[in-house]
Amino acid sequence: MNRTVAIVGRPNVGKSTLFNRLIGERKAIIDDISGVTRDRIYGDLEWNGMQFDLIDTGGYVTYTDDVFEKAIKEQVKIAIEEAKVILFIVDVSTGITDLDDSIADMLRKSNKKVLLVVNKVDNTKRLHEISEFYSLGFEELFPLSSISGSGTGEILDAIVENLPAEEKLENEDKAYDDFDEDEEKEPEIPRVAIIGQPNVGKSSMVNALMGEERNIVTNVAGTTRDSIHSTYNKFGKEFTLVDTAGIRKKTKVSENLEFYSVIRAIKAVEEADIVMIMIDAKTGLEAQDMALFKLVQRRKKGILLVVNKWDNVEKETNTMRDYEEQLRVKLAPHNDIPILFTSVLEKQRIFNVLNLLFDIFSNMKKRIVTRELNDVMLKVIEKTPPPSYRGNMIKIKYITQLHAKNPTFAFFCNHPKYLPDNYKNFLKNKLRESFDFKGVLINLIFKEK
């Protein structure tokens, strides 16, 4: 499901400032110099219960007289192709420029939803000046001061209105005990997305598994420009592999092709059931890898962490154990994510990947019958009951697993809104201890009974 929103516009109209304002963090370097390079180009956010990805096209252009306008237009073409909603940013203080007209002409010819955002509307005088931008030919116009935040709520409301609603499974609120096996419709084969920074060995991993050269593999980071789909069907196992283009740190992104690759990688995560995050054993788990991990986590996908190029590491007796312990400290509290050490070059533990992928997929589909679930969890709750709230005893009466894409458990109690987050995390950890959910993110729902 495509819920990608792209911010487009000529340089220095406030794209980065709006991006930071919407995601609520100062992720980008902002300067008055046109075309300043930033270190973050995507984020995800939630508004009125809907999650979506926000992509900023700023900072991708080498601003010279020769490539300036051409490169801007190329960004807009990519946004038109990949995004569901486009935020077209203009600047009220400069009025409509020739480049604004050129971008608007391209956007009008597309069939995508375009929200025209007039930025730097910081006073009443400028508010009266925005009417000239209706001449660009868009129905909806949103005045904005991205510095103060005035107008962002209306923009977010409009974005959500134009994005597809969450698909709800039939019988999603029913317990697993309440429907027959024949009524279920599980995916025929799992979809596995492989993501990671450039040159960690993603394409080589696909080639090793497939036994053929499906992807161009070189020592140059970023060789894979597009998402390449490969179907694996050997030894009684079948699934679809998606080798996504590497997501670079923003300081290294300088080509429109890289911008295209970032969007495709995020979409691949959205479409996948399981995501394999590959890291380089020499560099370890970097901040960019953690950003990818959090992206996958928020999308509630199955996760497998693969530490590749293990042959490049000097080893002692407990090197692997110590390395894994350091990784789990960084991944805490998600301590049961499978971690596999591989060398694609030396063909070390390559096919262990297959077993782990299917273990994770099996855990995603795992069902715990209500009786067994209550036998285990009610004993845990009796031993460690939830804390009272203002003298009110909170009693959890029973638990059931719901029919959902991810393992989802409903806890029925008398005061669900008073349950503290630390106790909810305690229950989630006990579920993981009692039933094997390695590599899978589980959801807890608390309902009043």
Give the pLDDT band (50/70/90) at residue 226: very low
Can you tell me the mean pLDDT for 142-171? Answer: 81
- Say which residue the tokens 């980065």 belong to: 16
pLDDT at 206 over 50: yes
Instruction: Identify the pLDDT of residue 383.
Output: 93
Longest CA pairwise span in the chain (Å): 72
Using an 8 Å Cβ cutoff, are 119 and 42 in contact? no
Look at residues 362, 324, 331, 353 and name the one whose alpha carbon lies nearest to residue 440: 362
Q: Using one digit for the tens of pLDDT, what is the confidence trace for 378-426?
A: 999 999 999 988 888 889 999 999 988 889 999 999 988 889 999 998 9
| 229 bridge partner residues | 242
C-alpha span between 246 and 135 (Å, rounded): 40
Query: Which span out of 178-192, 207-221, 239-253, 286-300 was modeled with the highest average pLDDT?
Result: 286-300
Give the pLDDT band (50/70/90) at residue 8: confident
C-alpha span between 174 and 167 (Å, rounded): 16
Instruction: Identify the pLDDT of residue 215.
Output: 45
Instruction: Identify the pLDDT of residue 321.
Output: 93
pLDDT at 196 over 90: no
| 49-53, 151-155, 245-249: least confidently modelled range | 245-249
Instruction: Identify the pLDDT of residue 269.
Output: 84
Q: Using one digit for the tens of pLDDT, what is the confidence trace for 323-364?
A: 999 999 998 888 889 999 999 888 889 889 889 999 999 999
pLDDT at 376 over 50: yes
pLDDT at 253 over 50: no
Instruction: Identify the pLDDT of residue 263.
Output: 66
- Say which residue the tokens 């590497």 belong to: 246
Instruction: Identify the pLDDT of residue 204.
Output: 82
Using H for helix, E for strand and C for coil, what is the string for the chain?
CCCEEEEECCCCCCHHHHHHHHHCCCCCCCCCCCCCCCCCCEEEEEECCEEEEEEECCCCCCCCCCCHHHHHHHHHHHHHHHCCEEEEEEECCCCCCHHHHHHHHHHHHCCCEEEEEEECCCCHHHHHHHHHHHHHCCCCEEECECCCCECHHHHHHHHHHCCCCCCCCCCCCCEHHHCCHHHCCCCCCCEEEEEECCCCCHHHHHHHHHCCCCCCCCCCCCCCCCCEEEEEEECCEEEEEEECCCCCCHHHCCCHHHHHHHHHHHHHHHHCCEEEEEEECCCCCCHHHHHHHHHHHHCCCEEEEEEECHHHCCCCCCHHHHHHHHHHHHHCCCCCCCEEECECCCCECCCHHHHHHHHHHHHHCCCCCHHHHHHHHHHHHHHCCCCCECCECCCEEEEEEECCCCCEEEEEECCHHHCCHHHHHHHHHHHHHHCCCCCCCCEEEEEEC
The pTM for the full model equals 0.64
For CA atoms 130, 131, 136, 140, the dihedral sign is: positive
Select the more confidently predicted residue: 44 or 194: 194
Q: Using one digit for the tens of pLDDT, what is the confidence trace for 305-326?
A: 999 999 998 888 899 999 999 9
Phi and psi of 110, rounded to 5°? -85, 170
Instruction: Identify the pLDDT of residue 264.
Output: 64
